[in-house]
Amino acid sequence: LSLAATGQPASAACFESGVGCPSDHYIPRSVLSTLSCDALWMIRNSIYDELGFCFKTARALETFSNEDCYVTNASRLKFNTFERTNIDRIVAVERKKGCR
């Protein structure tokens, strides 16, 4: 499956492949289980990026710009219900798949 950004507004991280916008609905576990580890990583970290998280790992810095970040401690991010649930679901699927 390809995971491409949709034509949503620039401020929303939205994806194709049945994922949609993780900040405004729950992503079904059945959809998440079909995605690659890389796609799961991208969706999970896009949520953090949208909330202004300042990334530290080389992979995240290559993928997301810290240019507009303002939160250095992930525990200070204010997730809405959809984001928190989707992150929890993604992490569970990543563990089940053995993603690193």
pLDDT digits (tens, 9 = 90+) for 68-91: 999 999 999 999 999 999 999 999
What pTM does this model have? 0.85
Question: How confident is the model over 29-53, as pLDDT tens digits?
Answer: 999 999 999 999 999 999 999 999 9
Q: Which residues contact 46 (CB under 8 A, 6 or more apart)?
A: 13, 15, 22, 64
